[in-house]
Structure 1
Amino acid sequence: MADLHEISFPQEWGPTPLADLKASVSLEGGLNMLDVRWAIAVDSTIQNVKGIEIDTSQETFKCEYIPSLAEAFPGGLIPGKEQIWFNYRINVFPASYYLVQACNLPQTPTENGSPFKYQMVRPPIRTTVDTAPYITTPAPPPVPVPVGLIVGLMVAGLALLLFGLVTYRMVSARLAAGFQKVAMGPKVPVLVVYPAGGAEFQGAVVALAEFLQQHGGCSVEVDMWQQGSVAKLGPMRWLLEQVQTAHRVIIVAPQPSSQRSPQKPPFPGVSGPPAAAQDLYLLALNLVAARAVNGAQLAKFWVVRFGATGPLTSELQACRTFTLMKDLNKLCRGLRRQRYTKIADLLTWRADCCGRNDSEKLRAAIQALHGLPTHDGAAP
């Protein structure tokens, strides 16, 4: 294969797409070695390929081919071959999984808006054998417990239970309006990810993000509000950074096209989804699949459905799911549990997180998505 060395490329060079990408991880001498393989289509455009960009989520490499492909393949075509493969080996830090993205240099947008191809790979499981001998010690005989002690413990337990119940009712009555106090507390960091959809679906996503930001006690991050950061970092790196800092990642389930209502006017002020929305959604599904074996990591990912959306994908079926508008208060209460710091907050967790006026815009957006009339009988 052609040798590689790092180089920067001027942006005025013409673009060419990458054909395929594969990655694998092996253990060598206690180190994780990431093997990246990629393919370039063998046609007239191969002479326009100047180099390759590889991002491992830990480090980014920009390299050029030496000799150049234009010199190595002056005719552009190779009889009997549709593509040619290259490979590059990288020493990476230990991780539970690696998300690799790569593209030909110079970059060019494709039909879905991204020049990158993605590959998720998990390292082999490290195994150790414990050869230490085990010594079995016989268990001591059970010591009988006096009946009087058992009765005393039961009476004391009932007294504590009664005291706690009375205290709970007294304090919760005084804190019936305590949610306003809770709402002034620290915001819960939340990331919202969604698939690309029509104007009504996009309007419902915007309404959900605005509701959580304004009335749900959340600090919401969503790609449509940070398109500059997404373009600067790339979809994969931006998503990984947001997932790391978020307390909850809310994935909006896709809406079947049969339930959209194209004859209705779009939701006011809402345009189509950003170019990276679908890439971020697919990357989020990969993250869920990678963490499916770890219940604690999977618990960070929640699914929100705008009414009946049909069967969920296999990646999302293991996540906790909320259906709006039915489960809106349940969703808010679940998010509020992330910031409890006082007993007063714990005693008010059953209170409704919002009134009907607070959620009216979200309700109208979901009704428009399903082609239903709003409260005033007209589409929003």
Structure 2
Amino acid sequence: MREIVAFFLLIQWSTSDNSSLGIVKHTVHKEWFENHKSNPSPLHELSAELSESQTSIIIRWSINIDSSIRSLVGTWIILSEESDSRYRCQYQPPFTSERINLTGQEQLWFSFTVPNVSACPSTSYYIFAYNMPTPTDGANEEYAKKTQIDEVQWNADIYSVLHGDKIVVTFNTSLVADRHTILLTNSTYLPLRTVGGKGECKVEKCEVKLDYMEYMGPCEDLTIWIKPHFKDCQDKSEWKDQKVNCTNRSALDIGVGCMMALLFVLLCCCIMCQTFRWIRGMRRAASVRVLLVYPAVDSVFQRSVMLLAESLQSRGGIHVVIDMWERGSLAEQGPLRWLNTQADLSERVLLISPPQCTHTAIFLPWPSTSLPVLPMTHTAGTSSGSSTWGMMRRVCRLSSEAAGCSFCRET
């Protein structure tokens, strides 16, 4: 199989020079006018594509090996564009030769490259092909095969950016273009700069620098237009456009922008700190714990204490806890220690006693050297959480419930 394919490579076409090309374009093959006893089967899987350089067309087809293969003398190919080009393809050695052994073969593939094709944008190419000789009724639609090449596309991928007083333009060149025209316009679409010729654009990626002047207007209004030109094509190419990227700014603009951003961040941080402090203060205010301590006098006095607790609780931000002092605990711990123990149970301590006291001088029954002056009332202090103790000296008429107590507490 490999040896046969090597011998069946296409080696000749009838348009090898200008003189023969002119003759072939206006004539048909001689087999068209001859009668033949048999004709080969149609070719199959005709396809065509542009080469990577877009300067030639590669045509491929296959031929089935059947009983009619011995009558195949060649393949006729027509390339249809602005003007038709015709090619007569012959096989060497010919299929009519007895030297070719096709035993066990079912299909053979062939390819032919059409050189020097004028690949123009937005142009489609049609290829017609059929084996010779044709049937007596000619190369009808069932016998002749047709395929099409997609339109030539150009991905310009334009990128332009302002650097100082230069506009740097980069784009993908068209490999088959003879030159490119670069046009700079503003919002009025009036040409400001025009650059022509291939210049440095012989490579796939081209870079061009244009001068930027103040009279051109704001950078945001500038647009780059690029158009390729083809030597053998009519004016079918289209303009490609892209806005100029104006991200490049002076050092002063960058510095001012950074400073403004920094100030904004600092302002946000200050606002967040103040908000956090306010929320924390609200939480502290909402969680103030007040302890009400009162003696067990009678139900009327106890009801008065309950009303006071409800009044404090209803103001909001205060959590009231009620406790009753015990004469045994007070005698066991001592007044000062007992009072400190009560203060540890909450943030504020409110001592309540029955109103049986008159405002006169007080004489403590214990020596002043053994016990310091006892603070009588715990009141709220500053916002930082400190507290002050108010001291009241009174002569008390103690009830039977406070007989063991040698001092009087009152708010």
Task: Report the TM-score when normalising by structure 2.
Answer: 0.29
Larger Rg, first or second structure (1 or 2): 2
Q: Which has the higher strand share?
A: 2
Q: Which has the higher helix share?
A: 1
Task: Report the TM-score when normalising by structure 1.
Answer: 0.31
